[in-house]
């Protein structure tokens, strides 16, 4: 392979004025973390990053690069000296590697060094003339070329590249503060968490677990999903808060009319999430709701459910089609885990006819039938919090206990 570096661009980041310093610091740190263990050298300039590949496997480097939020695009480049003959030779070699049949092409030159003795257009003419005369497969088309050969002259060197590949985009995770992700074992919430991180939000996760009403595998699924998401997180790790939800779950099954079970269960989740978010300095709650997907996600339901809190609730997927959510889920390698058929608290005892337009007043009335406030406080108090890293080998079933006992044990260690 002829390429010896990857040129990384940050896009919008450079426009952020005063915040630029924080953004860059976060991005550099993230980049260093994700490249750890690879034999590359990361060179920083004021508006770009150059990854020197040394002899590292380029696919491995790209795989890691795709975990860094805040990068807009990258190009595989060949670096040579800014001597015109060297540029011509390198350009020819690059085109010979890229072009295998009759192809239209165009050369673009950018001259960051204004002292360079030739203008951009002259350089373009010299280089394209040389390449054309040595490679008969190439034909110039300046309007609609199949291949563009870009030359950038800066700092005494010339960078040559012919691709511009879209990267993760967004902002470096962490710059937007912290949010609390309501994480179930389904398809949607891990995708919501990924999109939040991509937008710069560091996440902690809250999971409502109802073992033994639900299986230990459903809690393990959450652990495994967090491992996948942790690859994108700062430090490759994420804090997860397991809320013991069984008592509250049982109480509402006993006291609330079936059609309002889900509405009230979700109101309880929002109440608990709000308290935990405040405790953990999370400035918003994030979840995987998508308008119209299920009965609890009609606007009427959302309105009644959301009315228990005035905390900001972010719903990154609210307007997404399921198919687009599934595509992202596959991209972040969560899909196969998410579709494993273990029940969670939302899937046990699903009412036959859930209210699609539940009324706030009715929900409040039903909630008066049991002392939920104490139970909400107890749930928050008895939370089991653990940190899960991308390379964790945590296996909850190994201990042969109920989830909350297992988690308690892990927490004590």
Which residues would be at the binding site for ligand ATP (CB under 6 A)?
182-184, 186-189, 206-208, 287-289, 293-294, 296, 344-346
**Candidates 123-131, 180-188, 377-385, 401-409; binding stretch for Mg ion (CB under 5 A):** 180-188
Select the binding partner of residue 289 from ligand ATP, Mg ion, none (C-beta < 5 to 8 A, by kind): ligand ATP
User: Is 266 one of the annotated binding-site residues?
Assistant: yes
Q: Tokens in use for 279?
A: 């405790």
183 is in an annotated binding site: yes
Q: What angle do CA 372, 378, 381 make, to 5 degrees?
A: 145
CA distance 284 to 203: 10
Q: How far apart are CA 152 and CA 135, in angstroms?
A: 22
Q: What single-letter DSSP state applies at residue 212?
A: T
Any contact of residue 184 with Mg ion (CB under 5 A)?
A: yes
Give the integer Cα–Cα distance in Å for 382 and 107.
64
Strand residue runs (E) in 279-373: 284-286, 313-314
170, 172, 174, 186: which one contacts Mg ion (CB under 5 A)?
A: 186
φ and ψ of 345, to 5 deg: -65, -20
CA distances in angstroms from 356 to 192, 234, 260, 366, listed in the order given:
23, 39, 9, 16
- CA–CA dist 169, 69 (Å, integer): 6
> Alpha-carbon distance 20 to 14, whole Å?
7
Q: Is 207 annotated as a binding residue?
A: yes
Q: Which of residues 262-291 bind Mg ion (CB under 5 A)?
A: none
Binding segment (CB under 5 A) for Mg ion, from list 4-12, 330-338, 345-353, 397-405:
345-353
Contacts of 86 (CB under 8 A, 6+ apart): 80, 158
In the complex with ligand ATP, the residue whose CB is nearer, 88 or 221, is 221
User: Is residue 346 near Mg ion by the rule CB under 5 A?
Assistant: yes
Please name the residue that has the structure tokens 């653990």.
386
Residue 297 assigned ligand-binding role: yes
Shortest distance (Å) from residue 390 CB to Mg ion: 24
Rounded to a whole number of angstroms, the minimum distance from the CB of residue 345 to Mg ion is 9
- Is residue 296 a contact point for Mg ion (CB under 5 A)? no
Is 134 flagged in the annotation as binding?
no
288 binds, among ligand ATP, Mg ion, none (CB under 5 to 8 A by kind): ligand ATP
Among residues 124 and 290, whose Cβ is nearest to ligand ATP? 290
Q: Which residues are annotated as a binding site for ATP?
A: 182-183, 207-208, 266, 288, 297
Binding-site residues from annotation: 182-183, 207-208, 266, 288, 297
| Sites of contact with Mg ion (CB under 5 A) | 184, 186, 346
């Amino acid at each position: 392979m002829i390429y010896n570096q990857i040129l990384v661009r940050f896009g919008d980041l450079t426009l952020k004025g005063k915040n630029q310093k924080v953004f860059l610091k976060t991005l550099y740190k993230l980049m260093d973390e994700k490249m750890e263990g690879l034999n590359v050298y990361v060179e920083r300039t004021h508006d770009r990053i150059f990854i020197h590949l040394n002899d590292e496997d380029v696919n491995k480097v790209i795989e890691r690069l795709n975990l860094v939020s805040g990068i807009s695009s990258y190009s595989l480049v060949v670096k040579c000296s800014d001597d015109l003959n060297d540029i011509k030779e390198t350009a020819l070699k690059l085109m010979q590697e890229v072009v295998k049949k009759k192809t239209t092409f165009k050369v673009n030159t950018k001259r960051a060094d204004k002292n360079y003795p030739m203008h951009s257009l002259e350089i373009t003419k010299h280089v394209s003339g040389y390449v054309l005369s040595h490679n008969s497969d190439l034909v110039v088309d300046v309007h609609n070329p199949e291949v563009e050969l870009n030359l950038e002259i800066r700092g005494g060197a010339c960078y040559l590249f012919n691709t511009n590949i879209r990267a993760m985009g967004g902002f470096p995770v962490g710059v937007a503060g912290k949010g609390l992700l309501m994480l179930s074992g389904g398809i949607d919430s891990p995708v919501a968490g990924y999109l939040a991180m991509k937008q710069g939000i560091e996440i902690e996760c809250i999971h409502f677990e109802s073992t033994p009403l639900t299986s230990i595998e459903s809690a393990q699924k959450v652990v495994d999903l967090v491992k996948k998401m942790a690859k994108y997180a700062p430090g490759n790790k994420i804090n997860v808060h397991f809320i013991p939800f069984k008592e509250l779950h049982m109480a509402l099954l006993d006291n609330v009319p079936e059609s309002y079970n889900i509405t009230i269960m979700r109101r309880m989740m929002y109440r608990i999430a709000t308290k935990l978010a405040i405790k953990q300095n999370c400035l918003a709650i994030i979840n995987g709701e998508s308008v119209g997907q299920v009965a609890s996600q009609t606007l009427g339901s959302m309105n009644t459910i959301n009315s228990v809190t005035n905390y900001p609730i972010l719903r990154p997927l609210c307007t997404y089609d399921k198919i687009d959510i599934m595509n992202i889920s596959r991209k972040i390698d969560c899909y196969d885990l998410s579709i494993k058929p273990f029940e969670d608290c939302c899937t046990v005892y699903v009412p036959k006819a859930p209210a699609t337009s539940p009324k706030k007043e009715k929900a409040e009335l039903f909630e008066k039938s049991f002392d939920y406030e104490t139970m909400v406080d107890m749930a928050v108090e008895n939370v089991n919090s653990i940190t899960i890293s991308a390379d964790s080998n945590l296996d909850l079933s190994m201990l042969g206990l109920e989830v909350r006992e297992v988690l308690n044990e892990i927490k004590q260690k």
